[in-house]
Amino acid sequence: MAAKKLLIVESPAKAGTIKKYLGSEYNVLATGGHIIDLPKSQLGVDVEKDFEPKYITIRGKGDLLTKLKKEAKSASQVYLATDPDREGEAISWDLAKALSRDPESDCRVTFNEITKNAVKAAVKEPRSIDMDLVDAQQARRVLDRIVGYKISPILWEKVKKGLSAGRVQSVATRLICDREEEIQNFVPREYWSVEAMLTEPKSKKDFAAKYYKDGKEAQLESREEADKVIAQASAAEFTVKEIKRGKTKKNPPAPFTTSTMQQDASRKIGFSPYKTMQTAQMLYEGINIGGKYGSVGLITYMRTDSLRISDEARAEAAAYITENFGKENLHVRQYKTKNNAQDAHEAIRPTSVNIRPQDIKDKLTNDQYKLYKLIWERFLASQMSEAVYDTVSVKIDAAGHEFRTSDTAISFKGFTLIYTEASDETEKKAKKLPKLEENQKVSLKSIEGKQHFTQPPPRFTEASLVREFEENGIGRPSTYAPTITTIISRGYVARSKKQLVPTELGMITNDILKSNFNDIVDVEFTAGMEEELDEVAEGHVRWNKVLEDFYPDFEKNLENAKKAVEKIKIKDEESDVICDKCGRKMVYKVGKFGKFLACPGFPECRNTMPIREGTGAFCPKCGGEILAKKSRRGKVFYGCENLPKCDFMVWDQPVKGEKCPECGGLLLKKNGHNGKIFCQNENCSYERKTGK
């Protein structure tokens, strides 16, 4: 029997999909990510010997590595098909060394999408391992290890055990802390606007017009100034002086990159960056959708900042659009990728537009369906015609004071037939203007001044922080989601109604890093470091050179910080909950799974409790209060306080202080686009829309 070829991937799910494509001639195995790494117990980098890393087999991966060696020894050919990015290249290099394969041989296989054609084509064109990509990843790994392992002990000693500093996470924390300082230091400025409600005499239709000064909407400094305009305009005739009609076009958005996918998924379907990437990974690795496709990867590789689209994908999209929307809605485009983007693979798109979301909805989880639909619609829209709008802008004179109004109406829908950007969905629809003519008199119905105050900059959301990362060149697409997850889990930042708010711990840690390691938390320095790593990836700079340039100043800062940073005691926030073991008031702590209550008497008393979050609604089974809880996967559910004695549990939020008007049962609230309030009693049909 002929020896099989061995193909090694990272993910077991991907291995199963690929095995079906390649058949019995191949043995397909998965590494489950990295097999070697720097040791956790020590720095693992010899700074005296050209920053030589000391790699070891990751605990728990020994048996797997033994199995891979055995399979490789008997295989006729070994292909390393880890993910098509720098990290994947580094894992392939580790595998080549561990399996005694020559990295310069044709052993590396990459595919941007996991479809039968793509996988079969890829194994026919193996290449050598790209050492420039490996070196860039190694430089990043060593750099991050030095920063984390050298600064963190100072934070443990001076502030609190268990803290960590990281090259990218520290900059992310600084962005959030600096924004909070801007908000706290913001001094609002008062200003006034003037708005007139006018009536067109023939149609008797009312419309609003705003007061303009020097070509822009006026921001008057005081009420007196606004009252003066109101008095003069009220005594005058309002005359239509100018009407301009025109057309504007709006181009469709480009297909998704990692960053734009995370931002749109946050705004449109409420996904965190982490959840977006987790779901995208499943869509990429392969899902069994049955029929002629079977198990197939539904999207292309999801870690990319490229906007490139293959000719085949554009041709398939063009055929679909022509057939389903008409040729007038087709506009085939190739988008230009930013200069600093890595163009190794395509933008994120469906592997086939003919696999429509609605056709496979029953084969996907709800989260998979939502994200796939978003990716599918965005890609298709990117190849469609512009939307065209009819515009009208009107200038109205009243005793030398200018008022303006405008209207926009869509005349050709184009790409908006299938996709609207998240920002568009929140825009208020313009009120339709009556038919107006130049030199026409319109009557004044009312006029008023409105007081306003300038607003501080908004706190970051996860979506806007991702955009900030991208715009400032902080990290790479693969680091956005884990960076946000890390700063929240470390307790530096907390979520509050989708906003990211720095904690006291985050502010203190940020101040220490700014005072003693300013380069580490400097946005421009961090972006410059990313550019240097790109230079390594392109073969222009030795990876060690990046470390050689960085380390001397960093080492000086370390020594100074050890002496300069004073010990800081952070007082834990006290709760009203009494420890049922020793009687002390319990305090709030932050752990791996978020906030919890702990006894301040540690280590004498080690009592901990989850934080009780009441709903004010009561269990229909036993009368206990219904509490908000979290599942192991972090999803909120609602259960009786007497769990597990009472097994009452629901996913929808109970309504406080109101019972079903028909049966007296518990009312539940379902949020979202089709939100409603309904009776929990399955024998009762009462329901109403939210807001009524």
Q: pLDDT digit string (tens) for 191-233?
A: 999 999 999 999 999 999 999 999 999 999 999 999 999 999 9
Q: CB 266: neighbour CB atoms within 10 A?
A: 22
Topology annotation, domain 190-251+388-453: Topoisomerase I; domain 3 (2.70.20)
Average of pLDDT values for 226-252?
Answer: 96
Q: Facing residues of 392 across strands? A: 245, 407
d(CA 306, CA 256): 9
Tokens of 398: 């009243």
* CATH 3.10.450.40, domain 5-129, yes or no: no
Residue 113 has pLDDT above 70, yes or no: yes
Active site residue 492: no
Q: Is the CB of residue 371 less than 8 Å from the CB of residue 265?
A: yes
Q: How much is the pTM?
A: 0.82
Q: CA-to-CA distance for 492 and 480, rounded, in angstroms?
A: 16
Amino acid at 162: G
pLDDT of residue 670: 84
Looking only at the bridges linking them, the beta strands covering 190-200 and 441-453 are antiparallel
Q: Which fold has domain 258-382?
A: Topoisomerase I; domain 4 (1.10.290)
The pLDDT score that the predictor gives to residue 340 is 54
The C-alpha angle 233, 235, 237, rounded to 5 degrees, equals: 75
Mean pLDDT value across residues 453-478: 93
pLDDT digits (tens, 9 = 90+) for 116-142: 999 999 999 999 999 999 999 999 999
Active-site position among 21, 26, 301, 480: 301
Angle between helices 366-382 and 273-285 (to 10 degrees): 80
CATH of 138-186+458-564, one of 3.20.20.30, 1.10.460.10, 3.30.360.10, 3.30.1490.20: 1.10.460.10
Contact 342, 305 (CB under 8 A): yes
Model confidence at 344: pLDDT above 80: no
- Helix, strand, or coil here: 128? coil
Confidence label for 341 from pLDDT (cuts 50, 70 and 90): low
Paired residues of 494 in beta bridges: 501
The arithmetic mean of pLDDT across residues 652-668, rounded, is: 91
Question: Running DSSP on this structure, what letter comes out for residue 322?
Answer: H
Tokens representing 408 are 């926009």
- Any idea what the Cα angle at residue 345 is, between residues 344 and 346, rounded to 5°? 140
Q: Is residue 16 predicted with pLDDT exceeding 60? A: yes
Mean pLDDT of the chain: 91
Give the per-residue pLDDT at 120. Answer: 94
Domain boundaries, the chain: 5-129, 138-186+458-564, 190-251+388-453, 258-382, 574-609, 617-689
pLDDT exceeds cutoff 80 at 343: no
Q: Which of 106, 403, 377 is nearest to 265 (CA)?
A: 377
Of residues 419, 426, 379, the one with CA closest to residue 250: 419
The closest alpha carbon to 91, from 10, 6, 29, 7, belongs to 10
Q: Band the pLDDT of 498: cuts 50, 70, 90.
A: confident
pLDDT grade for 689, boundaries at 50, 70 and 90: confident
Lowest mean pLDDT among 250-259, 504-513, 651-660, 683-692: 683-692
pLDDT confidence of residue 10? 94
Q: How far apart are CA 451 and CA 110, in angstroms?
A: 60
Q: Are 513 and 521 in contact (CB under 8 A)?
A: yes
Half-sphere exposure of 130 (CA within 13 A, CB side): 20
Token duo for residue 70: 């055995």
**Which residues are CB-contacts of 435 (< 8 A; sequence separation ≥ 6)?**
200, 202, 203
Q: What is the pLDDT of residue 29?
A: 96
Query: What is the predicted pLDDT for the residue at 425?
Result: 40
